[in-house]
Chains A and B, each alone.
Chain A
Amino acid sequence: MILKRFLPTPKISIKPIILGLGVLGVLSLARIFADAPAITSSGTFSGAIGLAVPVAMAGLAGLISERAGVVNIGLQGMMVLGTWGAGFFGWHFGPWGALFGGALFGALGGALHALNTVTFGVDHAISGVAINLLAPGIARFLSGLFFEGNDGGTLTDSPPVPNLGKLTMPFFAGGRIGGFGTPDLLMWLEKRGWFLISDVAGLLGGFFRNIATESALMLLLVPFVAYVVWRTPFGLRLRSSGENPSAAESLGVNVVATRWIALVSAGSIAGLGGSWLVTNIGKYQQGQEALRGFLGLAAVIFGNWRPAGVLVGSILFQFTESVRLQVGDEPALAFVLAIGLSAFGLSVWRYFRKSWVGASSLLLLSVFIFAYFMSVDRVDDKLSSTFPYLITLLVLVFSSKRLRPPASVGLPWAKGQED
């Protein structure tokens, strides 16, 4: 009975953990089969996690917005603003300044979105697109004003920005305590090559060894957001604004204020993700956000609008990229094999569930993947950049019933409106 208090509460369900273990299992098989230990090495995971941070931040931002009922395509733009803010403040005030600047500028983007959608009632998607168009222009303009000609800055790059250094956990991952080295338990496990166990060690090693401080801080946001949105009164009201704003309002919830707060927070988190990019390479650079804002959106869907899912999705999306960077293009192919195996496995499962269409299309997909695996000897980086989007589309296509977006997200609503 006492043990029950320590078990995961219903909100942190067992399912994603089992799913995660399943994925690792498949990867483990692929690793063994293709003799590419690097696939699940902590180096790979570390890279994936690092790359995943900005996407996860964008995803969290999207999650908060949508849970409050507002579709947020403007994440991209908010991230751009965040990168600029981080560049500027980081240059003047150091790494903490970068984080602050990123959050601040991202919040401004969020405020604009709130002004458009909540106060003026503009369609959410349109406002998002408009912000995406406006942000780069602003960033470039401000760069011209502040960066150009100063301290090595140009129109597209800012002057250098320092970062916060790296962290490593003692004992488990060999971090130092007071100047003394400690044993690296996880690395020992990892090097054994045991099925699944070594892979899990690799995953954990990625989290705990040599992780950028900024990453660690931002990753802590994931459980923080989860707690706030699901365990506090504010969180309940936020979610109600996304499920049924009229109901919420009839009970005295100030939906307008709630959505504003949600969007501004979301903007600042997206901006924070942008600041990760800046501290990672040491400066602001035009276009560094690539398409991560949209990837964040994909992560929200993949993660079924839950923070843990968003994190898993972000890591997954960046995984191929990380494998490729870490290991080169050939072993990365093993990862493709893993995907093929999963597709095949899923199709068998669907077959047993009598879902013929699902089973046959998954089978087709796995055949396709195997054929690709056989015919090519390396993974092209451009092609692999399409994977996250493909995966998201597949998730949307095959699990539409399982997805639970907030009921009123994206629907027009005005204060005082009767449903």
Chain B
Amino acid sequence: MLALSTSIAAVALIIPGYSPRIAFGAMIENVATASGIVTVLNSAARYYVMGVAVAFGFKMNLFNIGTNGQYQVGALFAGAAAGSLGLLGPINIAITIGIAMFCGAVWSLIPGMLLVTRNVNIVVGTIMMNGIAVGLIGYFLRTRFRDPTDNLTAHTKTIPTDSRLPDLNRILNFVGIELPVSTKLHSFLLIAVLVGVVFYVVVYKSRFGFDLRATGRNAAAARASGVSANRMVLITMSISGALAGLAGMSVLLNQAYEYGDRFPLQLGFTGIAVALLGRNSPSGIAIAAFVMAAIEQGSRGLAMVGIPPQIGQILQGTLLVVAVVAYELANRRGRITAIREASGVLAPGASRL
């Protein structure tokens, strides 16, 4: 799969006369350095959490396309709060994260409620909420939450140093790994790992997870078995939105320290891509997040060798499309094989019971 999309990208390169070998070489070079890997891990952590947010919904066939709006809303309010509240460092961090997750959950819960009460399609609902979020956030950023000290760009007040999430460099030093001064491994990575573990345990080992997956597999059967569809939708959307908000915190607390015009815009959609690529499984999403981040980092090094860095985006895009198709085809083949296997074991003639 990776091979197919890489070759498509290679073709895209060759046509205008660039060399794929140089391109991919430069990309790998840019990733394989210490600072490269650190950046990749930092990005991957945030994509991972966002991917899990989306995957939670996907597990019950609930397409939460609204993660963009959810994390932005969460980050806006969290950023405003963190900048303004003058509480002690760690408490501030906890509250900030809490606000982000709460707002994300609320923003996600609204379309969930619309689905449950008025049967509004969740895809349409979340897309609409995205649109509303854009306008609403622009408005608030311009008026209420604006940092008055900066007249050039609009952003919330900068978060004081003690309210930021620390980095892991010192721990790494302890283990013997020395990083260059400018590269910092974000501690959000730990949060991401925690999220992954919780995701696995909840979805695959708990009874709630069973109900969740049952609803995704056959909603009618799940309902007849005692699972309340409405409850599932509301709980899942809340979790999904909360996780989306959490993902935004990696940028707010580890990197930008303020919410504003320069905040990344497409994190929500990247999360969707990562969830799809990773086939909604805890480990799959991790790999997908890593791959996406690696491609992103790699393409930063392309400009130096005179190759348009957008090839990275194309690689990501084609990878997604190819993967999605491949998964569908694999599903189909899997079904036919399963039937063949099951009936092959039975005695001839008894197969038509």
Contacts and interface: CB of A to CB of B under 8 A. Distances in A.
B334 interface: no
A344 interface: no
A396 B124 contact: yes
A350 interface: no
A122 B324 contact: yes
A39 interface: no
Given A144-B308, A145-B308, A389 B129 contact: yes
B120 A393 contact: yes
B128 A389 contact: yes
Contact of B125 (A135, A141, A393): A393
Interface in B114-138: 114, 118-121, 123-125, 127-132, 134-138
A26 interface: no
Contacts of B276: 126, 129-130
A126 B324 contact: yes
A85 to B, nearest CB: 16
Contact of B314 (A120, A125, A138): A138
A14 interface: no
Nearest to A138: B314
Interface stretch (B173-181, B252-260, B325-333, B345-353): B325-333
Interface in A119-141: 120-123, 125-127, 129-138, 140-141
Given A145-B16, A393-B125, A136 B328 contact: no
A133 B135 contact: no
A301 B120 CA distance: 11
A396 B113 CA distance: 13
A382 interface: yes
Contact of A120 (B125, B137, B310, B328): B328
A383 B136 contact: yes
Interface in B222-260: none
B333 to A, nearest CB: 12
Interface stretch (A265-273, A290-298, A308-316): A290-298
Contacts of B320: 130, 133-134
A377 interface: no
Contact of A73 (B123, B134, B310): B123
Contacts of A125: 63, 65, 123
A389 B273 contact: no
Given A125-B63, A125-B123, A393-B128, A137 B139 contact: no
Most chain A beta-carbon contacts within 10 A, residue among B119, B131, B269, B321 = B131
Contact of A385 (B134, B317, B324): B134
Interface in B5-48: 12, 16
A224 B207 CA distance: 54
A138 B317 contact: yes
A120 B118 CA distance: 33
A297 B130 CA distance: 13
A417 interface: no
B272 interface: yes
A411 interface: no
B65 A400 contact: no
Given A116-B321, A129-B272, A291-B131, A297 B310 contact: no
Interface residues of A, number: 45
Contacts of A388: 131
A78 B228 CA distance: 39
Contact of B317 (A116, A134, A393, A400): A134
Nearest to B12: A141
A58 to B, nearest CB: 13
Contacts of A390: 128, 132
Nearest to B17: A145
A112 interface: yes
B156 interface: no
Given A144-B310, A396-B120, A129 B65 contact: yes
Contacts of A138: 313-314, 317
A380 to B, nearest CB: 5
B141 to A, nearest CB: 8
B324 A116 contact: yes
A400 B136 contact: no
A116 B120 contact: no
Contacts of B311: 141
Interface of A: 71, 73, 112, 116, 120-123, 125-127, 129-138, 140-141, 144-145, 291, 294-295, 297-298, 301, 380, 382-386, 388-390, 392-393, 396-397, 400
The 8 closest A-B pairs by CB, nearest first: A137-B313, A134-B317, A382-B138, A386-B135, A389-B131, A141-B310, A144-B308, A385-B135
27 contacts: A73-B65, A116-B321, A116-B325, A120-B325, A120-B329, A122-B325, A126-B324, A127-B321, A127-B324, A129-B272, A129-B276, A136-B313, A137-B314, A138-B313, A138-B314, A138-B317, A141-B313, A291-B130, A291-B131, A297-B124, A297-B127, A298-B131, A380-B143, A382-B135, A386-B132, A388-B131, A393-B120
